[in-house]
Amino acid sequence: MREILFQEIDQLYDEMVQMRRYLHQYPELSFYEFKTAAFIQDQYKLLNIPFQANVGDNGVVATLQGAKTGKTVALRADFDGLPIQDEKTAAYKSQNHGVMHACGHDGHTTTLLAVAKVLKKYQHELAGNVVFIHQHAEELAPGGAQPMIKEGVLDNVDVVYGTHLWTNTPYGVVQTAPGNFMAAADKFTINIQGKGGHGGMPHQTKDPIVVGSQIVTNLQQIISRRIDPLDTAVLSIGSFHAGNAYNVIPDSTTIEGTVRTFDQSLQQFIIDEMAKIIKGTCTAYDVDYQFDYAKGYQPVVNDPEHAEKVLVAAKSVEDVEKAEMVEPSMTGEDFAYYLQEKPGAFFFTGAQIKNGFVPHHHPLFDFDERAMKIAAKTLIAATLNVNQL
């Protein structure tokens, strides 16, 4: 049965590419994916698979009941875009100004719909049930996973799997990890209120740029000097904004950044250290400040048994050259919340374009579309393995 299903995916490939490119042209931002959700619903109507709409807001959940008894497997794909202007020259570049599928969610959606179509065709031979979770708003915390879970998408589910088409990984490679796989992803903002003035008379000011620069330098010492080198954590500054003239010292500065961790106690330690450094530095320079810290998605922690099962499934796919366990990534994903409720695993499907690598969340982002076949086949194989088919 497995080989037949794999052949069906191969035969669907041209249709998958066409669907993915259509979705790529019409991306929508998190929590506003109304047309995309309607498109997904239309596909399930065509497949005659029952579904629920507006789950947790814009989510879509379809359920395929196998003809034989067995366990229920949930498969998840996200479908929101990013606030990025598509700068590709491809014919299928985004038609929605300032919005782009710059992370592969168009491919995730296409992959899951292809899996649904193939499994529906062989529903009479399928054991157990398959729940297809199409999740909105992965890119923007608080995300779509938690509200969908609260509405019961994992009720009666035994196992949950998901994949990310990953351009950091070569095509033909599938990667996962037992336990920690992706990090908790937090955001912080520091607003410094000083006293602006003439650039030629700095002694009359309280320069927020100098204070902010000192804070940025001091914050880096949390990781390098306050944390055990064997622990894993990241603190990165991504934004530093102040002023708009070369000869004017501004009144205020805004700094934004992210912290990535796997351990909650370490996460809290970093928050506490940041608060002390920011307070101490601002006190020394006699300026006011506001420190806002927002905890984002929790770490993605795979069930070791199911992480291994994913690799076993991937190794049964002819196009997979390597299926391997890897070190955790410091990127974040709200798939974490599914794994807090049910056993399962998340994995990367290598989608790097040969000699044309562009990272995720980049205006020129694209991926090797053949990876959708590998992702679909791996998800199918993993689903069948749960019920030993």
Q: Which of 349, 355, 290, 357 is nearest to 323 (CA)?
A: 349
Q: Per the structure block, which two tokens stand in for 376?
A: 């679909």
- The catalytic residue among 78, 138, 333, 368 is 138
Residue for token pair 């795979």 = 302
Of 193, 200, 15, 250, which is closest to residue 116 (Cα–Cα)?
Answer: 15
Q: Which amino acid is at 214?
A: Q
Which token pair is 227? 């944390």
Sign of the alpha-carbon dihedral angle for 132, 103, 93, 358: negative
Measured between alpha carbons, how far is 126 from 388 in angstroms, rounded to an integer? 11
Structure tokens at 205: 């000011």
Active site residue 15: no
Is residue 154 within 8 Å of 145, Cβ to Cβ? no
Cα–chain-centroid distance for residue 156?
A: 25
Give which of 303, 371, 17, 342 is closest to 167, Cα–Cα. 371
Distance between CA atoms of residues 187 and 257, nearest Å: 6
| Residues constituting the chain | 389
Task: Give the three-class secondary structure for 214.
Answer: helix
| Residues 389/1, Cβ–Cβ less than 8 Å | yes
Task: Report the distance separating Cα 88 and Cα 362, nearest Å.
Answer: 10
- Given the residues 28, 33, 78, 80, the one annotated as active site: 80
Separation CA 279–CA 346 (nearest Å): 39
Say whether 143 sits in a helix, a strand or coil.
coil
- Could you tell me which of 297, 303, 350, 299 has the C-alpha nearest to residue 146? 297
Cα three-residue angle 25-31-32, rounded to 5 degrees: 45
Closest to 111 (Cα-Cα) out of 203, 40, 192, 185? 40
Q: Is 138 a catalytic residue?
A: yes
> Residues at the annotated binding site?
103, 105, 139, 164, 361
What residues form DSSP beta bridges with 338? Answer: none
Binding residues for Mn(2+): 103, 105, 139, 164, 361
Q: List, by residue number, the catalytic residues.
A: 80, 138
